[in-house]
Structures are given as structure tokens and as C-alpha cells.
Structure 1
Amino acid sequence: MTHSFETGLVVGKFWPPHRGHQLLLETAAAQVAELLVLVYANPDSATMPAAVRAGWLRELYRGDEVAAGLRIGTTPLRIIALSAEEDGVPPDAAEDAVQREFVRGWLHRQGLRVAVVFSSEDYGPGFAAHLGVPHIAVDRARAQVPVSGTAARHNAAPVARYLHPLVAAQLGTVPPAQVPRVVLLGAESSGKSTLCQALAEAYHTAWVPEYGRTLHEQKNGNLEYEDLLYIARRHAELEDEAAAVARGVLFCDTNAATTALYSYYYFHACDPALQAMAAVCGQRYAHMFVCAPTVPFEQDGWRGPEALRSFQHGMVLMQLDHFHISYTLLQGTVAERVAQVRQQLDVELIASSH
């Protein structure tokens, strides 16, 4: 593929990253052979410093294989967090000339050359001119994505629709749902996938398989710690895609809270971003159903021993209680469980439609 420029540059606070930033990065990446992104502010956030914000951006653009590196499409992506202490970032209130010279000097010290600057801000043309390169503006009027980092920092809830689910969770909120989402939880081999599919057929709508299972099989069972956050992020994206075609309700097999449990189970640790995604699950789903581990156990080569089912079931219930999330426990055959869900859900869906 032929690109218009070699290396593109984007600088910003990304505090927090939002869909407007993603539009900026993705538009830039389509026009360059490589994209460099610098993340910084001074004073910086105490709770979500530049290094953390850069980490969220990296997570948004990583794929199934961490070793493959960050990419937007086929364009390699470098995301670097800078700080006042280590890099001499000038105060945000400093004059434009100081800001421009700081970036020029930093690039020179790193031996980096950029061919074009992309921005959505008024400072863009003068900044690019100081670097001696052209400037390309992206949605300067905020017509495509009407949001700003300032608005998100002030109150994330009203602008949550313009935040990726991973980022929204860090701010304690969730994007508004296109349709009510119903999630099925439970231990391994407790019938979640079978029931999800049966419910989708009964309601003539879409359902979302457990992405963690998909990646687990792709990697031949060799998941890494970083994969657990990726699983939660990718599953949330798949839910959003399915919600666009769902009719009335969307059924989801597992959620970020269960992914967090498996992070602790496999690695005895959980990424703070994944913890945040787990914590907002009570807001994300209209209802939670837990499948009792009473169906016959099926060992498909990917699951742990049957003896773990009871422990896993207890952990799911403990987590729901910890987050003060109400749920309905499902028992019996697939048909009986479908009937139990319908008995509960039909009343709620009718009530929510009025």
C-alpha cells in the first residue's frame, strides 16, 4: 500500500481518550507509513497520568498477538507517554512557542523525523509549521464526534456514548445501550453457550459468544496475563457490534467480571483497567442470569476438571454479591431454563418499553 507520508505525528493529553481521538488517530494512520503519538500534560492527572492514558490507547489498538505490535489497520503505531519529571514537558499554560520548541527538541534528541502533523485543534497549523512539515486537520469543528476531553473529565456520563467501553469504565460509567443486554454467567460447562443460542432463537435476536473461549483456542490454551484485559475489551466491542443488529434484546455469554475472575485464577492478579470494566457490569447489563452447574459436565479438552465447577460457581455468586448486583439463578434443562428466563425477562422488557 502506498502512503502519502512516511511518519505522522499526533500529540495530545488524551485525558481521557475518546472517540474523537480515535477518529484522529485512525484518519492519520490511513495516510502514513508509521504513526507516532505523544501523550502528555503538565500538570498531569494524579489518578490517570499520561503513562496510564497511553496504556489505554495501546490496549485499544492491540490485536490477538501482543508480539505483533500495535497497529491501526496495517500501519505501525508508536504511543509514548512523556512527563515533566523525566522529559521536561512544559506547563500547559506555557506559550505556543515554548510548546512547539519542546516537541521539536524532543524529536531531535530521539533522532526522530516526522513528515506530517495531524490535529483537531487550532494550534495545529502553527505547530506543524514550526516543525517544517504540513498539517492535516481532522474534524476540527467536532461535527463527526462532538466531544472533548474537558467535557469527559467534568462529567463522563453525558458523553459516555463517545467513549470506548474500556475507557468509559475507567471513569465509572458505560455507554448507553442500543438495546437491553442480558448476560449469562456461570462455571465452565454450565450450559451458558447453549442457553444463549436457544434464547437468541426464541427471541429472534442476536447473541455474543464468549470471546475468551475463542482466543483461548486460537492460542492453544497459552493465554498471557495481558490477554485477559484484551479479552474483556474485545468482548465489549463484539457486544456493541451485535447490538446494532439485535432485535429488542441482546444475549451475551459471559462478561468482564468473569474475565477478571479468570485473571485472578490463572495469574493471581488483575489489571486495574479490567477491574474497572468488571465494576461497571452492573450498569452495562439489564439483567444477569447465573446457570447452575447441574447439567452434565462435558470435557472438551479446554476446560478444567469437573471438580472445579462448584468452586467457580461459588466465585461467580460471591462476585455478584460483592458488586451488589442482583441475578436470577437458572436450574433444569435447556427448555426449562429458557422458560425461566422468559418468565423473568418478558415482564422487564414490557415494563422498560413503557
Structure 2
Amino acid sequence: MTHSFETGLVVGKFWPPHRGHQLLLETAAAQVTELLVLVYANPDSATTPAAVRAGWLRELYRGDDVADGPRIGTTPLRIVALSADADGVPPDAAEVAVQRDFVREWLGRQGLRVGVVFSSEDYGPGFAAHLGVPHVAVNVARVQVPESGTATRQNATAARYLHPLVAAQLGTVPPARVPRVVLLGAESSGKSTVCQALAEAYHTAWVPEYGRTLHEQKNGHLEYEDLLYIARRHAELEDEAAATARGVLFCDTNAATTALYSYYYFHACDPALQAMAAVCGQRYAHTFVCAPTVPFEHDGWRGPEALRSFQHGMVLMQLDHFHIPYTLLQGTVAERVAQVRQQLGQWGMMKGII
């Protein structure tokens, strides 16, 4: 792929990062060989400072291998958080010339040269001219994504313009096109089989457990950082499947179970993953738990059968902890499908969704 420029520059508060920011970054990355992203504000957020927001951006654009670093397509991202104390970030209210001089001087101190500036703001052309490089405007009129960081901070309904990972950090969930039903349970408890059978019965889509996909892809060698990535990618795959789902979307596993496995394997859980787990009660319209009473199938990836009972108990404990109602599924696959259909039929008649 031929790029128009070498190093591109995007500067912003990203407070919080939203779909408009993602559009800006993805548009820029398609035109450069490397993209430098500076994240800062002064005064900064006390609860989600620039370093945290930069971390969210890195996570949004990491791939299957964390060692590769964040990238969009083949374009690597260099995401840098700046602060008033460490970097001399001027106040947001400072004159435009002061803001422009700060960036130019910071780039000079770092020995960095940029070839183009991308922005969605009116200040973009003058800023780029001050650096002596061209400017590319992206979504300035807010037509493609009608949202700004300020509006997002001031409007709770703006969650629809947030990636689910970012929304979870703010304690909310983007509205869903269709209700999502999640199936949880221990290993080899029939989640995937029942999910697929339900999707066929309802003529709709279902989302396999992404953690299993990555686990096999990495030959069982998951790293601590992979667990948050699994939750993020699973949420994205749910959003993609929801676009074609009819009436309801069935999901095999959720971020809460991924958090359990993070503690199980690494005795720790990333705060961002904890936040994604905490909003599962909002994200899914109903939760079903598969009882570990079907014959155990050891496929080479699962733990020993003796762990099933413990895993099942942990799932139930976590649901109780988050105050998430659930329905326990028993019996054969056909019987479990019938139990789900009965439950959703009753619930759907009240809600008018199925």
C-alpha cells in the first residue's frame, strides 16, 4: 500500500475517546506510514488523566500479538500522553500561539519530524501551517460521527458514540440494535452448542467465545494482557454480529467470565477488564447459565473435568456479586433450547422484541 505521507500527527484531549476520534485516527492511518498521537489536557481529568486515556487508545488498536504494539492496518501508532508537570503542557485557555509553539517545541525536543497534521477542528489548518506541513480535515462538520468530546462528557446518552471498552470505563453501555442474550458456564458445559442451536432456532446470529479462538491461535500461551484484549475483541464481534441479527443476538461468554479467567491464570485483572465485567448486567438482556451436567469432552485445550464444578460455582458467585439475574439451564441440548425459548417467549411478549 502506498501512503501519501510519512509521519502524521493527531493532537487531542480524547476525553473520552469516541467514534469520531476513531474515525479521525483511522482516516489518518490510511494515509501515512506512521501516526503520532499526542494526548493531553490542562487542566486534566482527575479520574481519567491523559495517561489512562492514551492507554485506552492503545488497547483499542492492539492486535492479536501485544508485542506488535498498537496499529491500524499496517500503520503503527505512537500514542504519547503528555502532562503539565512532566511536559509543560500549557493551559487549555492559553492563546492559540502558545498552544502551537508548545507542540512545535515538544516535537523538536524529541527529535521528531511530522509531514502532515490531521484534525476535525477549525484550528487544524493554522496549526499545521505553524508546523510548516499540510493539513487534512476529517469530519469537521460532524456529519459522519455527530459527536465531540465535550458533548460526550456532558450528555449521558452519547454512549452510542463510544466503543464498548471506553463506555465501560465510564460505567455505561452503548445502546444495542437488538437485545443480547448471553450464555455462561464452566468449560464443556454446552454453551457453544446451545448458542448455535438457539441461533438456528431463531434464524439469527450468534457470537462464539473469542477467548477460545485466541487461545488456540496462540497454542495455549496466553499472556496477562491478552485477557483484556479478548474482552475487547469479543465486544467488537458482538457489535458486528448485531448488525445482521434478527430480533435477538446470542453470545457465548462475556467479559465477566473473561475477568474470572484473568484471576484464575494470572491472579490479577486489568482495571479496564474489571469495568467491562461490571457493566455486563446492563449489556445483556438476559443471562443463562449452563449446568455442568452434560458429558465432559476434553478437546486438548480445557482443564481437568474436576474443575468444572468449581468454575460453575465461580460463575454463579460472580453473577450474584453483580446482582445479575440468571436462568439455570439443565438437561439435553434440546431441553435447554426449549427452556431458553420459554423464558424469552415470556420476556419477549412483555418487551415486544421477539
TM-score range, shorter chain: over 0.9
Could you tell me how far 1:2 is from its partner in structure 2? 1.5
Distance (Å, rounded) in 1 between the aligned partners of 2:69 and 2:286:
37
What whole-Å deviation, never above 9, does each CA across 1:93-122 have from its counterpart, x for those lacking one?
Answer: 111111100000000000000011000111
Work out the number of aligned pairs and report it. Answer: 344
How far residue 33 of structure 1 moved from its aligned partner, in angstroms, is 1.0
User: Which residue pairs with 1:7 in the alignment?
Assistant: 7
TM-score (norm 1): 0.96
Q: Deviations over 1:153-199 (max 9, x none)?
A: 12333x11111010111111111111111000000110000100111
How many Å apart are 1:71 and its aligned residue? 1.1
1:182-232 CA-partner distances (Å, limit 9, x unpaired)? 000000110000100111111111110000000000001100010000000
Which residue of structure 1 lines up, in the alignment, with residue 211 of structure 2?
Answer: 212
**Structure 1: gaps spanning 5 or more residues:** 346-354
Please state whether the residue corresponding to 2:318 is helix, strand or coil.
helix
Q: For residues 15-69 of structure 1, what are the alpha-carbon distances to aligned partners after superposition, in whole Å with 9 as ceiling and x for unaligned?
A: 0000000000011111111100000011111110101000000011111011122
Unaligned runs of 5+ in 2: 345-354
Does structure 2 retain, via aligned residues, the 8 Å contact 1:195–1:338? yes
SS at match of 1:54: helix
TM-score by length of 2: 0.96
3-state secondary structure, aligned to 1:294: coil
CA distance in 1 between partners of 2:70 and 2:149 (Å): 23
Answer yes or no: is the 8 Å Cα contact 1:156–1:171 preserved in 2: no
Please state whether the residue corresponding to 1:151 is helix, strand or coil.
helix
Distance 1:253 1:80 in 2: 36
Tell me if structure 2 keeps the 8 A contact 1:12–1:40: yes
Aligned 1:1-354 pairs, distance under 5 A: 1-157=1-157, 159-345=158-344
Write the deviation string for residues 220-272 of structure 1: whole angstroms up to 9, x where unpaired: 11000100000000000000111111111110000000001111111111111
| 3-state SS of paired residue (2:305) | coil
SS at match of 2:227: helix
Alpha-carbon distance in 1 for matches of 2:63, 2:53? 18
Deviation at 1:135, TM superposition (A): 0.9
For residues 330-351 of structure 1, give each alpha carbon's deviation from its aligned partner in whole angstroms, at most 9, with x where no partner exists. Answer: 0011011011001101xxxxxx
| Cα distance between partner residues in 2 of 1:274 and 1:100 | 36
Compute the displacement of 1:70 (Å): 1.6
Return the alpha-carbon distance in structure 2 between the equivalents of residues 254 and 335 of structure 1: 20
Deviation, structure 1 residue 81: 0.5
Query: Any conservation in 2 of the 1:58–1:70 contact (CA below 8 Å)?
Result: yes
Contact 1:256–1:278, Cα closer than 8 Å, also in 2: yes
Q: Alpha-carbon deviation of 1:131? A: 0.5
User: Does structure 2 retain, via aligned residues, the 8 Å contact 1:180–1:248?
Assistant: yes
User: What is the distance in 1 between the residues matched to 2:235 and 2:68?
Assistant: 22
Distance 1:119 1:169 in 2: 26
Q: Bigger CA drift: 146-155 or 293-302?
A: 146-155
Return the alpha-carbon distance in structure 1 between the equivalents of residues 278 and 302 of structure 2: 26
* Secondary structure, aligned partner of 2:6: strand
What is the deviation of 1:322?
0.6
CA distance in 2, matches of 1:170, 1:69: 22
Partner of 1:34: helix, strand, or coil?
Answer: strand
> What secondary structure does 2:118 align onto?
strand
How far apart are 1:123 and its partner, in Å?
A: 1.1
* Structure 1 residue 286: Cα displacement: 0.6
Find the aligned partners of 2:285 and 2:24 in 1 and give their Cα distance.
33
- Distance in 1, matches of 2:136 and 2:49, equals 27
Distance 2:197 2:137 in 1: 48
Contact 1:15 1:149 in 2 (8 A): yes
Query: Does the 8 A contact of 1:156 with 1:168 survive in 2?
Result: no
Deviating above 6 A after TM superposition, structure 1's stretches of 4 or more consecutive aligned residues are none
What SS does structure 2 have at the residue aligned with 1:129?
helix
2:165 is paired with a residue whose SS is helix
